[in-house]
Amino acid sequence: MKKVIIFCISQFFFFSLFSQSKISIIPQPVEVKITPGSFLLNSATAFHAEKGLTNIINIFNDHIGKSTGFKLKTVPNSGKNTISLEILSSPEIQLGTEGYRLQVTNESIRISANSPAGIFYGMQTLVQLLPSEIESKSQVKGTKWSIPAAQIMDKPRFAWRGLMFDVSRHFFTKEEVKAFIDNMARYKYNIMHFHLTDDQGWRIEIKSLPKLTEVGAWNVKKTGRFNYFSAPADDEPRDYGGFYTQEDMKEIIKYAQDRFVNIMPEVDVPGHSLAAIASYPDLSCTPGTYKVNSGEQFMNWYDGGFSAMIDNTLCPANEKVYTFLDKVFTEIAALFPFEYIHMGGDECAKNFWEQNAQIKELMKNQNLKDMHEVQAYFVGRVNNIISSKGKKMMGWDEILEGGLVKGASVMSWRGMKGGIEAAKKGHEVVMTPTTHVYLDYMQGDGAIEPPVYASLRLKKSYELDPVPTGVDPKLIKGTQGNIWTEQMFNNRHLEYMVWPRAFAVAEVAWSSKNSKNWEGFVGRVEDHFKRFNNADIKYAPSIYDPGINVKKDAKGKLLVDVETEINGLTIYYSFDNSFPDNYYPAYDGKSIEVPVDAAPMKLISYRNGKPIGRMMTISIEELKKRAK
Ligand code: ACM
């Protein structure tokens, strides 16, 4: 009998432990205690909450209503089968303004926080405790909407948890932007940095400058690989693109605010300004006829520098430019409630300025010794304009060059160096280094991914610590993933590029540093893949595909090694043009010798005897190139 009781107790613990594996929250909360039992959500479950939280309840109901087929009512009293949402009357200091407690028992659920934001984040966690079918866009029959009993305490590491969305290189509709915000909110992001202007399109209506959207929002539709397109003919229709009216933008801002996402607008100047110059050519130092770029090459990039083949810069020596910017920032500041406006400042080619008499005159008058100081003069003028509208200015780390203007905040993208320098000077910093958070880079090996000039795997994104040693951590506001959309022609490919790396960035931004655990994270990522499958959101399966490294031995023979980001994969390969499967040779940790007359190498990964990666093909020429 004793043995039977011990067996039953051990089974009970086994099953409660087993239920632990069902909890898979991204970003990882500060504290999770699993307790025995579960709460069953059904159509009789009701909310108990104060009026100010109705919006949050509506968003939850819209989310779960599609898959469950029911929406939860609100009742005056808490009790059995209720979800109570409680703003704490005496604040719990350790939760801060965005933290929450979530308690799930067999009978009821309680979320408490110091603010509605905390309640909202508790609700996002609650959704992630439901089975993955909750994400389905149509009603799911036969699933029990069971929530494991648990006690969770949670709060973010950083106040700035952002994604930058470039809608200039390719335009995304208002509905696509809202869907993007929905996904941000689910992973507790709170800032969408909206890159609204660039060489390929001006996307926000400025009522006092109508040509910006009549001319600047439109280019020629091209299909293929951006930056390699032929130049459009003069008579090709310029009908590709679009813009948000100020009414559209108000709707987007409200939608984001309801989900506790602030929107930081970026107007990228003085470089990246071809769309503005095509609209108002006398803003350039070299007035002429300009066209919005359609993805044909117009910049030269070389080791250690770049130059523009077409002048895409605003002219710092032209007073009309500052009148123009005053108009733009007056309307932008009135539209966007967020305290920061981003003025870009990155990658400004100086080759046209160097030749320009007006610039030479400006340098003499203002005692500017080089082009960096010319740009710093411009940034200073922009800072005055933005400050005069009651906003704080942020810029890419190039605004350090020539002297950083007082009060400016820096977004460090060329590594963390600029951020460190700015923080040491007492400026606020957001860390967005290319090395870890550039979500436009390929997520896997170039042999399988749509081509981009650089690669950034999930593991590397997960490894970021935004706070470098030797700086005041209070000045590091947080981090964000940057999504440049040159090669993202549609919403499905945007999703593919963003996920799963935006899981990693969310976790870097929210979760405590000491909770980091790559193996645990990847397990949760795979659980969230199931959620995305149900939600019909695309993501890159690149964690299942190997990276291919090549070297030459002393005799010049090509040797291939493969590496995987996750454990438990076996890589099979061929050199005879046939598709490898699990009957083929497998990589066993020793370099693979490439046969003399080999056909292109093909590879595929398997897990537990089943194919899980994609069939990859790499030419012998490419292997030779990599060996160099
Ligand atoms: C940037 O990536 N040019 C900020």
* Residue linked to tokens 């950034």: 456
Long-range contacts of 519-522 (CB under 8 A, 24+ apart): 519/567, 520/28, 521/26, 521/28, 521/462, 522/458, 522/565, 522/566
Catalytic residue positions? 198, 272, 347
Q: Spell 460-479 as b/e; 16+ CB within 10 A means b.
A: bbbebebbbeebeeebbbbb
In DSSP terms, which residues pair with 112 in a beta bridge?
86, 101
SS3 call for 451: coil
Residue 248, token pair as written in the block: 């559209």
Q: What is the pLDDT of residue 4?
A: 43
CATH topology of domain 19-154: Chitobiase; domain 2 (3.30.379)
What's phi and psi for 622, nearest 5 deg? -65, -40
Nearest-atom number in ligand 1 for the CA of 347 is 3
DSSP letter at 492? Answer: H
pLDDT band at residue 628, thresholds of 50, 70 and 90?
confident
Domain with CATH 2.60.40 in the chain: 545-627
Please tell me the residue having the least CA distance from ligand 1 atom 3.
346
Q: Residues with Cβ within 6 A of ligand 1?
A: 346-347, 396, 413
Residue 442 has pLDDT above 50, yes or no: yes
pLDDT band at residue 439, thresholds of 50, 70 and 90?
very high
In DSSP terms, which residues pair with 572 in a beta bridge?
586, 604
CATH class of 545-627: mainly beta
Contact status, residue 296 vs residue 231, Cβ threshold 8 Å: yes
Q: For residue 272, report the distance from its CA to the centre of ligand 1, in Å.
A: 10
Q: For residue 412, report the distance from its CA to the centre of ligand 1, in Å.
A: 9
From 396, 410, 411, 414, the mutation candidate for ligand 1 (largest count of ligand atoms within 8 A of CB) is 396
Q: For residue 346, report the distance from its CA to the centre of ligand 1, in Å.
A: 6
Residue 17 has pLDDT above 70, yes or no: no
Nearest-atom number in ligand 1 for the CA of 413 is 4
DSSP letter at 316? Answer: T
Q: How many angstroms from the chain centroid is the CA of residue 385?
A: 29
Closest CA to 546 of 605, 471, 589: 605
Residue 13 has pLDDT above 80, yes or no: no
Q: Is the dihedral of CA 251, 336, 375, 468 positive or negative?
A: negative
pLDDT band at residue 614, thresholds of 50, 70 and 90?
very high
Nearest-atom number in ligand 1 for the CA of 484 is 2
What is the tens place of the pLDDT at every residue in 162-178? 999 999 999 999 999 99
pLDDT band at residue 18, thresholds of 50, 70 and 90?
very low
* Rounded CA separation 263/191 (Å): 6
Nearest-atom number in ligand 1 for the CA of 482 is 2
What is the tens place of the pLDDT at every residue in 319-330? 999 999 999 999
Domain with CATH 3.30.379.10 in the chain: 19-154
Please tell me the residue having the least CA distance from ligand 1 atom 1.
346
Name the average pLDDT for the chain.
96
Q: What is the pLDDT of residue 622?
A: 98
Residue 475 has pLDDT above 50, yes or no: yes
* Rounded CA separation 504/366 (Å): 46
Q: What is the pLDDT of residue 14?
A: 40
How large is the average pLDDT for residues 562-587? 98
SS3 call for 586: strand
pLDDT band at residue 147, thresholds of 50, 70 and 90?
very high
Residue 465, token pair as written in the block: 């610590």
Q: What is the pLDDT of residue 481?
A: 98
In DSSP terms, which residues pair with 455 in a beta bridge?
442
pLDDT band at residue 574, thresholds of 50, 70 and 90?
very high
Q: For residue 344, report the distance from its CA to the centre of ligand 1, in Å.
A: 8
How large is the average pLDDT for residues 110-118? 98
Query: What are the distances in angstroms from CA 497 to CA 58, 210, 342, 486, 500?
Result: 30, 33, 24, 12, 8
CATH of 160-540, one of 3.20.20.80, 3.30.870.10, 3.40.50.1400, 3.90.1530.10: 3.20.20.80
Dihedral (Cα; 314, 193, 261, 491), 10-degree rounding:
110
Q: For residue 416, report the distance from its CA to the centre of ligand 1, in Å.
A: 13
From 227, 306, 347, 480, the mutation candidate for ligand 1 (largest count of ligand atoms within 8 A of CB) is 347
From 168, 346, 400, 487, the mutation candidate for ligand 1 (largest count of ligand atoms within 8 A of CB) is 346
Q: For residue 528, report the distance from its CA to the centre of ligand 1, in Å.
A: 30
DSSP 11-71: HHHHHHHHHHTT---SSPPSEEEEEEEEEE--TT-EEEE-GGGHHHHHHHHHHHHHHHS--
* Residue linked to tokens 């009651």: 390
